[in-house]
Amino acid sequence: MRPSSATEKPPVDAADFKAAMRVLAASVTVITSRRGDQLNGMTATAVCSVSTAPPQILAVVNRETTSHGLIADSGAFAVNILAAHQQELAGRFARRLDRPFEDVAHGLGETGCPLLAEAVAVIECRLRERHHAGTHTIFVGEVVGVSCRGAEPLLYFDGGYRRLAAADGAPPSWR
């Protein structure tokens, strides 16, 4: 792939790219972080597994967010995969709030990051790598703790929250 210059036309129209990304279904997460007494969380769908040996995941965070600075400074973050009934939390953490965890059931994990009480899964990480990508940073975290509960995850697809259904229309089954 050849490098592009600032004067070249982008290879893809931004509106076309956004339309394609709208149909990429993703789990809805809240990435949490902490620096001292300051707790923060942000709603995100750009999270994925990187490796199982050692266990690592990545989270993509806009450099203009409060969360970015907290993750970079503290060297830790947690990924809370939301349950289908937690749409309100997804909306809450999509906004900038002075006290985002006020009246939100949570505990603090090994890294000090907030862990949401009713999340489908919580993955706690220590920061191992960071890579700049456009306006965002890709944070790679080594997993130091995991908890899972059998519940339906909240999904984001085509601009809205969705729920799982089996191909035959039956509700999903859990282990």
What's the Rg (C-alpha) of the chain?
17
Other CB atoms within 10 A of residue 51 CB: 12
Tell me the backbone φ, ψ of residue 131, rounded to 5 degrees: -135, 130
Question: What CA–CA distances, in Å, run from 48 to 23, 45, 64, 81?
Answer: 17, 9, 21, 11
Q: Residue type for 99, please? A: R
Other CB atoms within 10 A of residue 163 CB: 13
Q: Where are the domains of the chain?
A: 25-162
* pLDDT at residue 44, rounded to an integer: 95
Class of the CATH-defined domain 25-162: mainly beta
Using the Cα atoms of residue 148, residue 152, residue 156 and residue 157 in order, give the sign of their dihedral. positive
Q: Would you give the distance in Å from CA 81 to the centre of its chain?
A: 8
Q: How far apart are CA 169 and CA 152, in angstroms?
A: 15
Tokens linked to 147 = 């908890």
Q: Residue type for 130, please? A: R
pLDDT in tens, the chain (175 residues): 555 556 677 788 888 988 898 888 899 999 999 999 999 999 999 999 999 999 999 999 999 999 999 999 999 999 999 999 999 999 999 998 889 999 999 999 999 999 999 999 999 999 999 999 999 999 999 999 999 988 899 999 998 888 887 777 666 665 4
